[in-house]
Every structure is written in C-alpha cells, then in structure tokens.
Structure 1
Amino acid sequence: MKQHSYFVYMLASRIGGTLYVGVTNDLERRVEEHRAKTVEGFTRRHGVDRLVWFEPHGDIRLAIAREKQLKKWNRAWKVRLIEKANPNWDDLFLALMAPYHNRPASPVIPGER
C-alpha cells in the first residue's frame, strides 16, 4: 500500500503579516500556486505567499482535523506556533526547493557574498 503525505501549512504576506492556513497533499505544487497567484481567492487578494510553517501528516483525516483546529485558533496562538519553529519567519519554500534546483537554501542578496 502506497504511503501518502499530507501537509497542513501556514502562509504569511510578510513577517507578522496576514496569515492563511491550508491543507494539501502536494506542498511544493500548492505553494507554487499561491506564489504564482494562479488561484483566485484570499491569498491572491492579500498577497499571502510566504511559507512560514508546515506540518506533515500520514492520514488525510488527521491533516484536515488539524487544519480546522488551527483555523479556529486566534492569531496570537498561530504566531507563537510559527515563531517556535521559524522565529525569523523565513520563507521555508526556498529551503524545501533548494535540493531540487541546486540553489542555496537562503536567498542571496545581490552584492553580498
């Protein structure tokens, strides 16, 4: 039997900005859709495309339950969850994609090395 992976994730518009909670079975594809603004809706309207937190699950029912739980949380609880794992609100998508695209996990600022 094939093992499936599901992800509950949070996106932000910027450090301390607007938050979005979602669930997917393909984190790379879904975040790319948010970043490319290919899907109408909340994240496109509010410029929410920075992956700041995610949690893997092996069971879709557990992932959906966790997503619903987080959506009911107040903002301060979500911020604490993000900052516990990602205190600088780094865009985790860059680190996820680095091994596949031979690029550094951290963005390089032009003129700095």
Structure 2
Amino acid sequence: MDPSLDIVFAALADPTRRRILSMLLEDDMAVTDVAEPFEMSLAAISKHLAILAGAGLISQEKRGRVKWCALEPDALREASIWMQGFGQFEPVNLDAFERFLRNEGLTPEEG
C-alpha cells in the first residue's frame, strides 16, 4: 500500500479528526472555532489539525492573526480508489459522507 494512504487512514482513524473533517464540510473555519465544541486544549486541537494537514485532508492559511482551516476534498480520492479495488465501495461522495457522520452523531445537526 502507498505510504501516503497509510497517513490518510491513520488520520481518519481518530474520531476527533473525523469530527473536525465533518465540521469543515460546512465551510472554512478559524482554528479557534474548530476547537470550540471540543473539551480539549487549543494545543491538542492544533495537533489534530497538523495531522490532518500532514495527510493532505485539510489546508491551513494564516489570514492576519487568524489561522483558517479548509477541507481538501480531493485528498480522499486515493483512499476511495484503493477501497474500490475491493469491489464493495463506491467512490467517496462527500454529501453521503456528511449524512453518514450526522447519523453517527459525529457532526452537529443543521438548523
């Protein structure tokens, strides 16, 4: 397996990081806004964000004094293609992925 796939799957293995990704499906967010719903320090959230960025799943950009995070939707493409090799998986559909995360209670309800 491609080493970059190992990094993506390792990043996705953590429920906090999956929840962060589901939050970023909605829109770009400041790091402080990403951290708000979690009961952990900003430093801990920053470590999770660094892992997601290292896996190419998000990008981070400094705008003035604020660091913003954005989902990189193409980052899951390689993992999706690899899973398709088993013939059981469809390509990753981000809308369906978001619905799945909502059903699992990993993202806030719209409203």
Fold-level match, TM-score > 0.5? no
Q: What is the TM-score normalised by the length of structure 1?
A: 0.31
More helix by share: 2
The answer to which structure has the higher strand fraction is: 1
